[in-house]
Chains A and B, each alone.
Chain A
Amino acid sequence: MKLKHTLIIISGLLAVVLIVIVLKFYYQNDPLETVKMPKCAFYVLTGWKCPGCGGQRALHYLLKGEIWQSFCQNPLLYFATVYIAAVLAVGKKFRFLTGIKACTAWFIGIIAFWILRNVI
């Protein structure tokens, strides 16, 4: 049991260190200017933006404190984050959060967002 606890603590610390390193990296580097960050696979292959494009830019601007700029990079990502947090917190109590209407709404929303951001 003692060994197990030690392993959990060590892996937890490693995870925290890793997250700090990644956040620092995203704080210091603008995804538009560096080649060190991965490009979206869908964008590389097709030339069209996918629903997730702008996520790295959003994180960069968020860490810089430019909230509105960050939001504009990928608005749907913000709705998704709030929604996922809500489901993780109270999803078991409120099953409709992952019900038919929620699935339909997300399907339509993501497809519409996907098309619109390539058209506009």
Chain B
Amino acid sequence: MNQYFYYEGNTQKGPVSLQDLVTKITPETDVWTQGMVDWAKAKDVPEVAAALSNVSGFTAVPPQQEAPVITVQAQNSDRSPYDSPDFQNLLIWAIVSTFLCCNVTGVVGIVMDLKAEIEWVKGNKDKAWDKYKTAKMWIIIGAVAMVVFYILYFAVLQSVFVNNFPDFR
């Protein structure tokens, strides 16, 4: 049995079964279930319309070939920070991080930025954004690790290293 999602005002609700769904919606409600490309009005989804007519006496109409209803959700996935002319990836910050002692995490950040750019050129906006966030995470990890290391360094390690390895540069 398929699970259904529907909109109540601007809020997405669900999942609910078909029996529960028809008690909560009108023929004009946007609904969606697995297998549908996009959200559609309940009256345009055959099995929902049929179930609705059993409950409320609403008569199902044959599905119409209209433009799909564009919902809030669909718009969100089309919008990406990469579209903004002000957007810049984190390559320069990954490089700064590489030179400021977070070399391993910095290089991972560069690789993630490279992957993000590749996904972006392919048109996978969501994947590109995921890679961007991964790059950001690695740069932050590097920065935190560096701060922790140097607090430890000046507190404890320095004297040990200076005494044992006098030729340290």
Which chain A residues have a beta carbon within 8 Å of chain B's beta carbons? 31-32, 35, 38-44, 50-53, 55, 57, 77, 80, 83-84, 87-88, 91-92, 98-100, 102-104, 106-107, 110-111, 114
CA distance A54 to B88 in the complex (A): 29
CA distance A104 to B114 in the complex (A): 7
Contacts of B104 in A (CB 8 A): 42
Contact A102–B153 (Cβ < 8 Å) = no
For residue A49, give the distance in angstroms from its CB to the closest CB of chain B. Answer: 8
Contact A80–B99 (Cβ < 8 Å) = yes
Q: What is the interface of chain B mostly: helix, strand, loop, or mixed?
A: helix
Contact A52–B99 (Cβ < 8 Å) = yes
Q: What is the interface of chain A mostly: helix, strand, loop, or mixed?
A: helix
User: Which of A35, A98, A106, A110 contacts B88 (CB under 8 A)?
Assistant: A98
Contact B117–A99 (Cβ < 8 Å) = yes
Which chain B residues have a beta carbon within 8 Å of chain A's beta carbons? 85-86, 88-89, 91-92, 95-96, 98-101, 103-104, 107, 110-111, 113-114, 117-118, 121, 146, 149-150, 153-154, 157-158, 161-162, 168-169
> Knowing A35-B158, A41-B153 touch, does A100 contact B118 (C-beta < 8 A)?
yes
CA distance A108 to B113 in the complex (A): 14
12 additional A-B residue pairs with CB within 8 Å, beyond A84-B96, A98-B91, A106-B110: A39-B169, A42-B101, A44-B161, A44-B168, A51-B103, A52-B99, A52-B100, A52-B101, A55-B99, A57-B169, A106-B91, A107-B114
